[in-house]
Amino acid sequence: MSTEVKVPTLGESVAEATIGQWLKQPGEAVSADEPIASLETDKVAIDVMAPHDGVMGQQLAAEGDTVTVGALIATIEEGTGSSGKGAAPAPKNEAAPKAETPPPAAAAEEAPSGASVLSPAVRRAVLEYGIDPATIKGTGKDGRITKDDVVAAAKAKSASPAPTASTPARPERAEGPARREERVKMTRLRQTIAKRLKSAQDNAALLTTFNDVDMTAVIEARNKYKDVFEKKHGIRLGFMSFFAKASVLALKDVPAANAYIEGDEIVYHDYVDISVAVSAPNGLVVPVVRDCDKLSFAQIEQSIADYGKKAKDGTLTMEDMKGGTFTISNGGVFGSLMSTPIINPPQSAVLGLHRIDERPVVRNGEIVIRPMMYIALSYDHRLIDGREAVTALKIIKEAIEDPTRLLIEL
């Protein structure tokens, strides 16, 4: 007897998803509540679980197919099956597209070892860096290889001793292999990101104002208290909590930056829910730290750390990213010197953080070296005037340069 596996409820107002990856193949043994497939929605990846112990049966949709909530995508058969490789596959539904068989001479190049079980993002990274996935130990769920694993392997490979002069690193070949192109369908998440960012440019009057911040005071405070902070709260003290609290001060003084336009009305908020942009394997996601105006530094740091881990593991939920009244995007962790971030609709403003560089500045008539950071505030000029935007960014700058302001809310 077989049991039907259907697309589960995906979240409020989400009706369809894409089959991102089959985690179990026909004929393989499955356990109750074990992930058998990964679905990609507009915002997050969701695992489909096996309803009971048994054997993976038919796969009624192929990777990349769009499926709707409640649609039948697979069956689970009775039995013990195989533990994995070498299993005799059950017949697949003929509706599933068949992959083209590459020419024998090109097969090794076109499909790296283990490519059939890699997600599209990881497969692209493997091809880009020229890494054999069979040599990579996966750190993702159930030992799956993540994009970070591929990047780490590439760095380790580049750090190995360079070849000697007698052995050229790239020997010239009279007839090298033909150059290749690969077409990979955009993930649903990437498509949604593209649409939302383009929509923001099309529908909002975007403008960016800049300032620079002397990070001396925050760095000194962090160095002084980081050990006792971590000992008391069990979480490291970072810079994001300072900027979140500084943003709260700015948004309270400039409420338009914490509002958004809906039709011919402006919706103001008496709370501050900050969307924090974090990097996930399939793209940038923005989980929401709610009620930042009421949270402590430790609670903000813990929330951001939890979201970062969930993003890396691919376990963020719809609820994690729902709402948000303001966004902070930290490009500095990737080395960005300056940028013009795009607002996260329907929000009206986003704060961009960048890397910290030691630069010469004038203090009390003398040139001194200080750790400086450029900060940027992009905003919807339909709602926020230039004076308000500059004022909000100036409040953030002053609070970071004098953290005492955060305590007395000045």
Nearest to 245 by CA among 309, 306, 321, 299: 299
* pLDDT at residue 146 in the model: 80
The burial of 101, by beta-carbon neighbours within 10 Å (0-12 exposed, 13-18 middle, 19 or more buried), is given as: exposed
The mean pLDDT value for 4-19 works out to 83
The mean pLDDT value for 182-187 works out to 83
Q: Is 240 helix (H, G, I), strand (E, B) or coil?
A: helix
- Scored b (16 or more CB within 10 A) or e, 250-284 reads bbeebebbbbbbeeeeeeeeeebbbbbbbbbbbee
* pLDDT at residue 168 in the model: 52
> Do 50 and 123 belong together in one domain?
no
* Cβ atoms of 320 and 228 closer than 8 Å: no
- Scored b (16 or more CB within 10 A) or e, 172-202 reads eeeeeeeeeeeeeeebbbbebbeeeeeebee
Six token digits for residue 307: 């979201």
pLDDT grade for 110, boundaries at 50, 70 and 90: very low
The mean pLDDT value for 304-330 works out to 90
Among the candidates 62, 77, 92, a domain finishes at 77
* 60 is a domain residue: yes
* 312 is a domain residue: yes
> Do 262 and 340 belong together in one domain?
yes
Among the candidates 36, 58, 77, a domain finishes at 77
> Do 282 and 140 belong together in one domain?
no
> Do 36 and 72 belong together in one domain?
yes
What contacts 121, CB < 8 A, 6 or more positions away?
A: 147, 187, 281, 282
* 297 is a domain residue: yes
| Residue 357: active-site member | no
> Do 271 and 379 belong together in one domain?
yes
* Cβ atoms of 396 and 350 closer than 8 Å: no
Average pLDDT, the chain: 84
Q: Estimate to the nearest angstrom the gap between the alpha carbon of 116 and the chain centroid.
A: 23
Which CATH number covers residue 127?
4.10.320.10
pLDDT grade for 160, boundaries at 50, 70 and 90: low
Where residue 392 falls (left for φ over 0; alpha for ψ -120 to 50; beta otherwise) is alpha
Q: In whole angstroms, how far apart are CA 157 and each of 5, 136, 137, 151, 154?
A: 42, 11, 14, 10, 5
Which CATH number covers residue 42?
2.40.50.100
> Do 231 and 347 belong together in one domain?
yes
* 194 is a domain residue: no
Phi first, then psi: give them for residue 388, nearest 5 degrees. -65, -40
* 250 is a domain residue: yes
> Do 235 and 353 belong together in one domain?
yes
| Gap between the Cα atoms of 311 and 314, Å rounded | 5
Phi first, then psi: give them for residue 339, nearest 5 degrees. -155, 170
| Gap between the Cα atoms of 84 and 185, Å rounded | 27
Q: Is 329 helix (H, G, I), strand (E, B) or coil?
A: strand
The number of distinct structural domains making up the chain is 3
> Do 124 and 54 belong together in one domain?
no
> Do 212 and 340 belong together in one domain?
yes
The string of pLDDT tens digits covering residues 351-377 is 999 999 999 999 999 999 999 999 999
| Gap between the Cα atoms of 407 and 47, Å rounded | 43
* Cβ atoms of 254 and 391 closer than 8 Å: yes
* Cβ atoms of 34 and 47 closer than 8 Å: no
> Do 68 and 116 belong together in one domain?
no
The burial of 374, by beta-carbon neighbours within 10 Å (0-12 exposed, 13-18 middle, 19 or more buried), is given as: buried
| Structure-model confidence comparison of residues 11 and 226, the more confident one | 226
Strands 326-330 and 274-276, bridge-based pairing: parallel
Phi first, then psi: give them for residue 336, nearest 5 degrees. -70, 135
> Do 122 and 218 belong together in one domain?
no
- Scored b (16 or more CB within 10 A) or e, 378-404 reads bbbeebbeeebbebbbebbbbbbeebe
* 317 is a domain residue: yes
* 44 is a domain residue: yes
| Structure-model confidence comparison of residues 168 and 287, the more confident one | 287
* 254 is a domain residue: yes
pTM: 0.65
Range name among 18-32, 88-102, 317-331 with the lowest pLDDT average: 88-102
Among the candidates 159, 191, 223, a domain finishes at 159
Q: In whole angstroms, how far apart are CA 401 and each of 29, 212, 251, 331?
A: 59, 10, 18, 20
> Residue 196 pLDDT more than 60?
yes
Which of 33, 227, 385, 402 is catalytic? The answer is 385
Which CATH number covers residue 291?
3.30.559.10
Q: Is 255 helix (H, G, I), strand (E, B) or coil?
A: helix
- Scored b (16 or more CB within 10 A) or e, 328-354 reads bbbbbeeebeebebbbbebbbbbbbbb
> Do 300 and 211 belong together in one domain?
yes
| Residue 233: active-site member | no
Amino acid at 390: V
Tell me which residue range forms the domain holding 130: 104-159
